[in-house]
Structures are given as C-alpha cells and as structure tokens.
C-alpha cells in the first residue's frame, strides 16, 4: 500500500481497514513511505506481523490500530517528481518484483491514480486505487475520502467567522481549497448559509465577479434587508486573488455604505487536517475492504468507488461500492476538471439555480 498526493482525513482509516482485513485473511501487507518515492527506493515497513495465536497466523501491526482514527497519513504522502519519468516507474516495478509484491493499493487523488495506471500498463503490476481527495474531483465516484471532514471544517470555521461578522456588521470573503474543482466552495456555501459562492467552473470574468459581490453586499446591508453579516465563499481556483477582490469590492461598496468593512479569511491547509468524520471513517473502511477484495478477485487496473454518479462499474458485495477501470476513471476525472462531465455541469446548474436564493 501507499498514500500519494495531498493528504485527506480518512487515509489512515483506509490503511487500518486494509491492514486488519489482510491479517484476518492471512495476507502479508507492507506500506511504502511517502508515496511513490518510497516504492522507488524500497522504503517500506510491514503492516502485518506473524502471530501463532492468530487464526491465519497474522495480526495487524499496533501502529495500524493506533493511527487509524487520526488525520493525515501515518505512512507519509507526497508528490514524486521522479515518478513522472518512465525510468523511475520502471525502477518502481523492479522494486515491487524484488519484494515479491502481488498487488499494490494506491490511496490518493487524480495524479496518484494516473500514476497507478501507468505503473500497471508499463510494468504489469496489479493495482487498485482508493479515491482520497478533499476536492472531490475524482471521476466515477460520488464521494472521495476526506471530503466530508473538509466540509465539516469549513462549516465550523464559517460559523465562527459569522459570529464575529454579526457582532460588527461586516462582510467576509472566505477562501477555501479547490484549485481546479469548486465542490468544497459550492457545498460549503449551502451548508454554511453563505450569501454567495464563487467558483472557477462558473466561468465569470473578474469584472463580473466583482460586480456580483458588490451587488450581494449592497443589497444585504441595504435598508430593506438590513442583514447583520454577509458571508461569501470563494474557491482558490477563482482567477482573481482574494486580497485583490476584497480591495476592489471595498472601494465600490464604501461609496454607498461607508460603514461596512469587508474582510477576508483564507482557510488554506487548515481544511486538510483533523480527525476524520464518521462518514469519512465509514467510506474509508468500506473502500479499503473492497480494494483488497478486488485484488484477491483478480483486478489488474481498477479503482473502487463510492456511490458512482454515472452508470456502469462492476458490482461488489457492498451495494454502495463499485469497481471501475482506471482508464475510465482518468477519462472521467479529466472531464470533471474541463467542465464537460455531466456531473460537474449538473453542479453548476444547481448553484446557478440557488444563487439568488442564497443572496436573499
């Protein structure tokens, strides 16, 4: 196993599930440190240990249980520049053969899953991916590990910001992660009772964004509505920087509402951390179980998905989990990011429909 790319709350839970299920089935499991670099360099440690008292002769390592409920990744994660080169992917395959590895489970996002696909096609190693990305930008899965916890963190932060905003009758623009996908911004805005959501997929120009925000703030603080606070969520992928957006909006708003201050808050990597929520622990456990079972069933290049938003996929023993060819996952992921996927188009239509509702 390995975790790759950005960390996501629930990765450790998936590792725990795989380690425990593997031990129960008598399958030895090792974990590579810090993603693909660990595989290339052969830096690994066991997640199962021999035990004469165990039914199948194996028990999970104590660390697997100890870190299973924590955020981050206790085996380390990261992005490997070396793995982009065919030479090092070949070395990774050689290392896997040297270690007698029959299959590799990769827990991570789009780049990690594409890396897994390339490793299989170039070396023949059987791979199964587990989607883990707080941006929820992975194709063929309705939810990725880490999304729910990230949203809970965003909502809690926005609730706290709203408290101080109401006390001083201010407007806040809160930037959340999502360089290419605005899912966190969209879902977070609805859940946090925000007045507007700004995301890259809307395709608005900087002038249109500034004009929309100015209009929302002026109407909210006008005599008729007289709101106590304005909360606007902005995805980091929106072209205009948050600081510049605040400055431009402030200059226009103060012409009509000189007493209204506009502040910004960039949540950044705060959103990545924290212990996983119940939902993330549940899907991480069930996806981890399904990933191991997929390898045992002979999967060669697949990803396990949670409640796929598009038809297709192979069924599993878990009715919420399906198996998808990695090639299809990569294709759908690219469509999510370039806006051609019906999934992201439906998200945009929904947000356009509720935009005026949020601003009331």
Q: Which residues are catalytic?
A: 135
**DSSP readout, 135-193?**
T---TT-S--BTHHHHHHHHHHHHHHHHHHHHHHT-EEEEEES-SS--HHHHHHHHHTT
How many CA atoms, within 13 angstroms, populate the side-chain half-sphere of residue 13?
25
Determine the Cα–Cα distance for residues 13 and 184; give it in Å rounded to an integer: 22
Nearest to 348 by CA among 190, 202, 229: 202
């Amino acid at each position: 196993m390995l975790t790759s790319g950005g960390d996501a709350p629930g990765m450790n839970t998936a590792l725990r599930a795989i380690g425990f299920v593997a031990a129960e089935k008598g399958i030895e499991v090792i974990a590579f440190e810090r993603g693909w670099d660990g595989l290339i360099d052969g830096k690994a440690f066991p997640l199962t240990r021999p035990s004469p008292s165990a039914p199948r002769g194996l028990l999970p390592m104590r660390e697997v249980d100890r870190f299973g409920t924590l955020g981050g990744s206790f085996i380390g994660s990261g992005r490997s520049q070396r793995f982009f080169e065919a030479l090092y992917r070949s070395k990774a395959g050689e290392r896997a053969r040297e270690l007698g590895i029959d299959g590799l489970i990769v827990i991570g996002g789009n780049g990690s899953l594409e890396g897994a696909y390339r490793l299989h096609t170039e070396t023949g190693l059987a791979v199964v991916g587990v989607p883990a990305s707080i941006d929820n930008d992975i194709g063929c899965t309705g939810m990725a590990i880490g999304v729910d916890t990230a949203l809970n963190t965003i909502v809690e932060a926005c609730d706290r910001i709203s408290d101080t905003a109401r006390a001083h009758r201010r407007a806040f623009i809160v930037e959340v992660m999502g360089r290419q996908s605005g899912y966190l911004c969209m879902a977070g805005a609805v859940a946090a009772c925000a007045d507007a959501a700004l995301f890259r997929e809307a395709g608005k120009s900087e002038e249109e964004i500034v004009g929309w925000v100015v209009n929302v703030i002026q109407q909210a603080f006008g005599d008729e509505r007289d709101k106590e606070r304005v909360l606007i969520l902005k995805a980091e992928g929106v072209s205009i920087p948050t600081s510049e957006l605040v400055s431009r909006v402030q200059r226009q708003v103060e012409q009509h509402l000189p007493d209204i201050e506009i502040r910004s808050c960039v949540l950044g990597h705060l959103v990545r951390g924290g212990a996983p929520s119940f939902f993330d622990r549940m899907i991480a456990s069930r996806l981890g179980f399904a990933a191991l079972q997929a390898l045992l069933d002979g999967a060669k290049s697949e990803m396990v998905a949670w409640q796929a938003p598009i038809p297709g996929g192979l069924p599993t023993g878990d009715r919420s989990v399906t198996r998808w060819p990695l090639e299809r996952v990569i294709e759908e992921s690219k469509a999510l990011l370039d806006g051609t996927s019906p999934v992201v188009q439906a998200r945009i239509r929904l947000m356009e429909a509720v935009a005026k509702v949020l601003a009331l």
